[in-house]
Structure 1
Amino acid sequence: MLPQPAEPDWQLLAQQHEARAKRRRLLIGVGVGAGVLVLGGGAVATALLTRGGDPEPSSTASASASPGKGSKGPGGASPAPASSAPLKPAVSASELFGKAAFDLGGHNYVRKTVTTDIPCWKASAFGLGDVLTANNCSQVMRATYFSGSTAITVGVAVFKSEAEARKTESAFKGQVQSLDGKDGVNKFCRNVACPTTHAVTGRYVYLTVAGPLNGSAGDQNPIARTAGQELATYFGEALAKDAGADKG
């Protein structure tokens, strides 16, 4: 009778199979982990290269990708495109200084002469021209008015944007140059102290200088002070309406 073949050791085979399975699982886990470490290190290196220094602390959660073309923002709504509508043309000197005469606060103002200055520094004095040029002033409109024995020049500097006008206001120095020398207007507020005003609305910086018709100093003259303030308020309101139309 032939001897029967020995039975396989099933328990030993099962143990060996389980051991091989554990080794496979361990190797797969380490491989993914190594991949995560490499990718993480690459992200930090990119941050250092682009920032030129240490990266800012960030969450360990995975970062969302930046929305691409055609993607939608939070809530599924498509982001609204930025407005690129151009500003309407700036108000002209003929529009702004169109009235030949008008009354303010019981005082009568008569327009005597009007001009538009390009480049802007031509209408400036005592350093204002440098500020206007630095902020891309495109033109200065000026008009001189008489009220009794007082002359007042109103100046309006025009910029391409409100930001440039406000930068001019924040760095302001000097004054608008009085508009004289033609249309029967003798020199006034030249090389003497006179009250001035300046303010900004929209893309306009508006200014006044006022003093006696005879060219004497006006800084202590209450009539000249009042005249400059009244015209500044009047034209500031007119320019505010035009600036509001830009935003509407």
Structure 2
Amino acid sequence: MADETAARNRKRRLLLIGGGALATAAVAAIVALAVVSANDADDKPETLPSAASLPAEPDQPEPTFSDVSVPPPPNPLDYISDPKKDTAPLSASTLYPGRKAAGGTRTYAMAAASDSTDCAAAASPRLGPVLTGNGCRRVIRATFHQGGVAVTVGVAVFDSPAQAAKAKQNAAGNIQPLAGGGVPAFCQATACRLTLNSVGRYAYFTVAGYTSGQAVTTADTLARQAGKDVSDYTFTRIRTRGEQQAAAAAAAQTSQ
């Protein structure tokens, strides 16, 4: 009996020793696992790569600009100010295409036209010397009419804008009315409406009145409006002359 009790005690001690060894081994495995897990965490990068380490984008081509300068477009006023540039055909037909003048909704038909290098003969005794004294080269006249009102416009041509402006500034008297084409003599020894202006090397004058010989009063509106319409249309046509020549010069520059 004593021997059996001793044997059981020895077996119990062995089991306790074995269990402690197993517990120790389990703890060691846990520690080892923790170490391995910690090493794995140390191998992971804490930050992303910096921008400098990223591949660079391909360079884009830089814009290039031509060193050739483009000349400014021609100024139309230059072409109606300089006789060396103002070389387009000039006549009553080129100034007034279609033999008419327009003003708003009003249209005036051309009745007669003349072109003379004798500037004094195309003007009254007081205006003639002003034209010739400032170097007038020629005077183109045209008469327009509508509803019993007639207007003669005289376009005096000079060599420079200064001469034209001075002729306008010193003007006295009137351009000579031009009859013909169904329009009788008008503005003869009777009151009529006058206008004057200049642009570039051109000065232009109008005289407007009634074909019946009726005097134009200060309260009159028909003759005054007709004179203004023809004067404004003349300005437009001279300006158009400059624009057309400037456009032709610009086209020539482009084709070179």
- Counterpart residue type for residue 146 of structure 1: H
CA distance in 1: counterparts of 2:123 and 2:101, whole angstroms: 26
Relative to the length of structure 2, the TM-score reads: 0.59
CA distance in 1: counterparts of 2:224 and 2:113, whole angstroms: 21
Change (3 A) 1:103 1:94: closer
**What RMSD over aligned residues (CA atoms) do the two structures have, in Å?**
2.3
| Structure with the larger RCO, 1 or 2 (CA within 8 Å, 6+ apart) | 2
Change (3 A) 1:244 1:165: farther
CA distance in 1: counterparts of 2:100 and 2:83, whole angstroms: 36
Q: Secondary structure at the match of 1:125?
A: coil
Map of 2:111 onto structure 1:
112
Q: Secondary structure at the match of 1:216?
A: coil
- Counterpart residue type for residue 234 of structure 1: Y
Structure 1 residues 1-248: aligned runs within 5 Å: 86-89=84-87, 91-101=90-100, 103-180=102-179, 182-220=180-218, 221-243=220-242
Q: Secondary structure at the match of 1:200?
A: strand
CA distance in 2: counterparts of 1:203 and 1:85, whole angstroms: 8
Q: Secondary structure at the match of 2:168?
A: helix
CA distance in 2: counterparts of 1:161 and 1:141, whole angstroms: 17
Question: Retained in 2: the 8 A contact 1:203–1:243?
Answer: no
> Which structure has the larger Rg over C-alpha atoms?
2
Question: Retained in 1: the 8 A contact 2:205–2:231?
Answer: yes
Question: Retained in 1: the 8 A contact 2:116–2:138?
Answer: yes
Change (3 A) 1:202 1:219: farther
What do the CA deviations read for 1:192-242 (whole angstroms, capped 9, x no partner)?
111110000000001111111112212432100001001111111111233
Displacement over 3 Å in runs of 4+: 243-248
CA distance in 1: counterparts of 2:113 and 2:83, whole angstroms: 31
What do the CA deviations read for 1:110-150 (whole angstroms, capped 9, x no partner)?
11111112210111114100000101101110111111110
Question: Retained in 1: the 8 A contact 2:141–2:153?
Answer: yes
Question: Retained in 1: the 8 A contact 2:96–2:237?
Answer: no
Structure 1 segments unaligned to the other structure (5+ residues): 1-82
CA distance in 2: counterparts of 1:219 and 1:125, whole angstroms: 21
CA distance in 1: counterparts of 2:197 and 2:118, whole angstroms: 20
How many pairs does the alignment contain? 165
Change (3 A) 1:189 1:85: closer
Change (3 A) 1:85 1:190: closer
Structure 2 segments unaligned to the other structure (5+ residues): 1-77, 250-256
Relative to the length of structure 1, the TM-score reads: 0.61
